[in-house]
C-alpha cells in the first residue's frame, strides 16, 4: 500500500514533469503524464487544468472542455480555470456561455483586465457592441498597456464603421507591441476604409514583413496594390497566395482584376471563371467577368453573368447597373432604362 505522503510526492513529481514538458512544447508527453496523475487522483485540479490547456493548444477544443469544466468544479473560485473555460467555449463558438463564465470570473476578480477583454470578445461575437465597448474600455482603464484590448476594441470600431477611432486604437496597440502583425493588418483595413490607400499599403507591407507566408496578408496587400493601379505587383501577390492556397476564390477574382488592368483579357476571364466555379455565390466575380465581357463586346454573355449575380442578390446595385450597360450594348434601351430605375 502506498503511503499518502509518498503518493503526494509522486503526484507532485509527475505534475512538475508535465509542466516542464508543456513549457518545452512537448504536448504529447505533458498529456500522458496528466493522464497518469488523473488515474491516481481523478479530481486533481492542476492536472485537470493542464490537460485542458494541452488539448486546447492542440486545437482539440471539444476534448478540452471536459477536464477544464471538471477543474472549475473542483475549485469554483479559480479565476484562471474559469478563464480557461471561457476561452474554450469561445473557441467552440459558444459565446453566450463564454460571456457568462467571464462574468463569474469577474464576480471573483472585478479588476481582472484579461477577463474583461475576453468578455468583450464574446459580446462582440454575440453582436452586442455596447457591452463589448464597455468591457474593452474597462480593461484598458485598469491596464492601459493591454495591447490586445486596444486591438480588439479597434476591431470592434471597424465593425461599427468608426474607422478613425479604429486607427487610433491600432496605433496604441502597435506602440505597445510593434511586432504583432495583426495590429498592422487591422490598421491597414481601417485606413483603406478611410480611403488612405498609400498609408494602408504601408501597414500591410509591415504585416507581410512580420508574417511573410500568411495568405490573408498577401491578399490584403494585393488589393491595395490593385487599388493604386500597381497591377503587376498585385498579380505577384495573388500568385503567391494561390501557390499556398490554390482554391482561394477571392484571390482568383482579384487576380482577374490585376490581369485585366494589365490588358491580359483572356487570362483575366479564365481567372474569373475559376473563381466562380469555386464559389458560385461570389457576386463580385460575376460582375467583374461580366464587365470584362462587355469590353470585349460579348454583351449576351455579359448579360447572363449579371443576371446570375442578380439571382444571388436581386438588389445588388453594381449588378443592376452592369446589367443595364449590357442591355444598352445590345440596343435593348427600354429594358436598360427599367434596370437602371431598379438600381436607383
Tens digits of residue pLDDT in 37-95: 888 888 888 888 888 898 988 889 999 999 999 999 999 999 999 999 999 999 999 99
Calculate the CA 159 to chain-centre distance. Answer: 12
In angstroms, the CA 28 to CA 327 distance is 64
Q: What is the dihedral of CA 286, 287, 289, 290, to 10 degrees?
A: 110
- Residue whose entry in the numeric block shows the C-alpha cell 483572356: 266
Return the top range by mean pLDDT from 13-17, 47-51, 148-152.
148-152
Query: 292-344, what's its fold?
Result: 1.25.40
pTM above threshold 0.85: yes
In terms of Cβ atoms closer than 10 Å to its own Cβ (0-12, 13-18, 19+), residue 260 is buried
The pLDDT of residue 102: 98
Tell me the CATH number of domain 213-279, given options 1.25.40.10, 3.30.1360.170, 3.40.605.10, 3.90.660.10.
1.25.40.10
Q: What is the DSSP string of 192-224?
A: HHTT-HHHHHHHHHHHHHHSTT-HHHHHHHHHH
Query: Domain limits of the chain?
Result: 165-210, 213-279, 292-344
Calculate the CA 209 to chain-centre distance. Answer: 19
Average pLDDT (8-19) is 75
Average pLDDT (86-113) is 97
- Would the pLDDT of 5 be above 80? no
36 confidence band (pLDDT: 50, 70, 90): confident
Q: Are 213-279 and 292-344 equal in CATH topology?
A: yes
* DSSP 3-state of 100: helix
Amino acid at each position: 500500500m502506498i503511503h499518502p505522503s509518498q503518493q503526494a510526492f509522486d503526484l507532485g513529481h509527475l505534475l512538475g514533469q508535465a509542466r516542464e514538458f508543456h513549457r518545452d512544447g512537448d504536448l504529447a508527453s505533458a498529456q500522458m503524464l496528466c493522464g497518469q496523475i488523473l488515474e491516481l487522483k481523478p479530481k486533481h485540479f492542476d492536472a485537470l487544468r493542464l490537460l485542458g490547456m494541452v488539448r486546447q493548444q492542440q486545437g482539440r477544443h471539444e476534448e478540452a472542455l471536459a477536464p477544464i469544466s471538471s477543474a472549475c468544479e473542483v475549485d469554483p473560485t479559480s479565476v484562471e480555470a474559469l478563464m480557461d473555460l471561457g476561452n474554450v467555449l469561445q473557441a467552440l463558438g459558444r459565446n453566450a456561455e463564454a460571456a457568462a463564465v467571464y462574468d463569474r470570473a469577474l464576480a471573483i476578480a472585478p479588476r481582472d483586465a484579461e477577463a474583461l477583454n475576453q468578455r468583450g470578445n464574446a459580446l462582440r461575437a454575440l453582436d452586442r457592441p455596447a457591452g463589448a465597448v464597455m468591457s474593452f474600455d474597462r480593461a484598458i482603464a485598469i491596464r492601459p498597456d493591454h495591447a490586445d484590448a486596444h486591438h480588439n476594441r479597434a476591431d470592434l470600431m471597424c465593425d461599427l464603421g468608426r474607422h478613425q477611432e479604429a486607427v487610433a486604437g491600432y496605433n496604441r496597440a502597435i506602440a505597445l507591441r510593434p511586432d504583432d502583425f495583426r495590429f498592422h493588418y487591422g490598421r491597414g483595413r481601417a485606413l483603406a476604409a478611410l480611403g488612405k490607400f498609400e498609408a494602408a499599403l504601408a501597414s500591410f507591407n509591415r504585416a507581410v514583413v512580420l508574417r511573410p507566408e500568411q495568405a490573408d496578408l498577401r491578399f490584403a496587400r494585393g488589393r491595395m496594390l490593385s487599388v493604386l493601379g500597381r497591377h503587376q505587383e498585385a498579380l505577384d501577390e495573388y500568385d503567391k497566395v494561390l501557390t499556398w492556397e490554390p482554391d482561394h476564390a477571392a484571390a482568383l477574382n482579384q487576380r482577374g482584376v490585376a490581369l485585366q488592368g494589365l490588358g491580359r483579357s483572356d487570362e483575366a476571364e479564365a481567372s474569373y471563371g475559376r473563381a466562380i466555379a469555386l464559389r458560385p455565390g461570389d457576386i463580385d466575380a460575376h460582375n467583374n467577368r461580366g464587365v470584362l465581357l462587355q469590353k470585349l463586346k460579348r454583351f449576351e454573355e455579359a448579360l447572363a453573368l449579371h443576371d446570375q449575380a442578380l439571382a444571388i442578390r436581386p438588389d445588388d446595385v453594381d449588378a443592376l447597373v452592369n446589367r443595364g450597360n449590357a442591355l444598352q450594348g445590345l440596343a435593348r434601351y427600354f429594358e436598360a432604362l427599367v434596370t437602371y430605375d431598379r438600381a436607383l
